[in-house]
Structure 1
Amino acid sequence: GGGSSSGGGGSSSGGGASAPAPGPQQPSRPAPGPAPAPAPAPAPAPSGNAAQVAISFAKAQLGESYILGGAGPNVWDCSGLVMMAYGAAGIDVGSHSVSSQYNTMQARGRLVPFSQRQAGDIIFWNDGSGFYHDAISLGGNTIIAAPKPGDVVKIQGLWGGSDIMPYVGRPG
């Protein structure tokens, strides 16, 4: 005896062939069915989970120092924090510069009126001569940001009045 085997339990994946392999090699077939084409970028909609991942990442950096050019792991500037927070969610928001991040959101059709901002949206500041700051909205008039030299990553109220851009970025 000894030829019977009881069910699964084995650790090999894929198992052996249930029938002998045919003599001549079968022509390889394409993957079953056509592979779905990458979906086009959706229209701006709440980024949901990605926004929560980005916010959680940013909150994990609270109290860490602002250093111009910082992008972690323990020092940050504004656009470095935004870039790495969304990077943690698997989303590219543009390079390590506020203007790049705004232009990336614009090029992808991801700008939403400031009045419709929600948690996770990127708020941008521009004084007329150029972009100089961005931050992640926590909803309402609260943001998380790496504000300025000598400061730390923190949660703060919106500031900057007329320098705040009329559109926010909604990565997704």
Structure 2
Amino acid sequence: MRRTTMRKAALALTGVLSGTAVAIGCLAGAPQPEQHTAPVAVAADRAAAVKTVRARLDSLEAQADKAGRTAEIANEALLQHDTAANRAATDRAQAGLVALADRQTPELTSLLQRLTKLGVSTAPAADGATATTTALVGRTRALRAVSFARKQIGDPYGFAKAGPGRWDCSGLTMKSYSAVKVSIGGHSATAQYNKAKRQHRLHSYKNKRVGDLIFYGRPGAVYHVAIYAGHGRMVEAPYPGKRVREVKVRAGDRVSAVARPA
């Protein structure tokens, strides 16, 4: 899985205290105070504190990566063999991701606040969560969106329909992400592409991830959208007369960029 590293959050200290102890009115020949002792000690203490925080951030990142890999492996197994055991394993892995995100968010936010007090430049996400937590929640939402789409397999195509029971392509992707509280641009493949572009959420197809939206047509005139399910496969509501299905990703007419809503 592609790691969004927490090390970027713990940057080098932006400055070190400096100063010089000056003796005023000292007798000639009297010993002078040792220079820089206090500032150097303060800097050393801060560096040690930053090192401790960074070590904890690394530990939390490792936990997030482990949970993410577990969820991806379970999801890939389910895509290969849709059995009751694999469905249960996938549900457990996804629940584990959600629980880990809930546990980590308060501590990660606290660690960022501590770094700020230590004078370290940090880059928290807009909602106060760290980059790792944001990425973790994104992976969770993407896996759950794919799970929602897969549950509709076998439903008939319905023009301009967004369920339940009948779907067109953009209705399926819209509701799959709506189920995890993510808005992807409305009931239109072109609108979904354009929103991803405005939000800088387009990525090269070669870097696709589970949950990414795959488009067909051309930028500005997209006529079809599907959701990537992993292993070179996608879930789609294809066209009248066909049902929602999971198939290999088609290369013909495929747009070179995918959207990553979460």
Report SS of the residue matched to 2:150. Answer: helix
Structure 2 CA distance for aligned equivalents of residues 140 and 60 of structure 1: 18
Report SS of the residue matched to 1:133. Answer: strand
Q: When the two structures are superposed, what TM-score results if normalisation uses the length of structure 2?
A: 0.48
The answer to whether the 8 A contact 1:57-1:85 is kept is yes
The match for 1:68 is 159
Structure 1 CA distance for aligned equivalents of residues 209 and 219 of structure 2: 25
Measured on the aligned residues, the alpha-carbon RMSD in Å equals 2.4
The match for 1:171 is 261
Structure 2 CA distance for aligned equivalents of residues 64 and 50 of structure 1: 23
Once the two structures are TM-superposed, the CA of residue 129 in structure 1 deviates from its matched residue by: 8.0
Structure 2 CA distance for aligned equivalents of residues 54 and 121 of structure 1: 10
Once the two structures are TM-superposed, the CA of residue 158 in structure 1 deviates from its matched residue by: 1.2
Cα distance 1:73–1:91, how it changes in 2: closer, same or farther (>3 A)? same
Q: When the two structures are superposed, what TM-score results if normalisation uses the length of structure 1?
A: 0.72
The match for 2:127 is 39
Structure 2 CA distance for aligned equivalents of residues 155 and 87 of structure 1: 20
Once the two structures are TM-superposed, the CA of residue 118 in structure 1 deviates from its matched residue by: 1.2
The answer to whether the 8 A contact 1:118-1:140 is kept is no
Higher share in strand: 1
How many residues end up aligned between the 2 structures?
135
The match for 1:82 is 173
Q: Where does the alignment leave 5 or more consecutive residues of structure 2 unmatched?
A: 1-124
Q: Taking CA–CA contacts closer than 8 Å with sequence separation of 6 or more, which of the two structures ends up with the larger relative contact order? A: 1
Higher share in helix: 2
Structure 1 CA distance for aligned equivalents of residues 258 and 217 of structure 2: 12
What is the one-letter code of the residue matched to 1:39? D
The match for 1:99 is 190
1:143 aligned to 2:231?
no
Seq. identity, %: 37
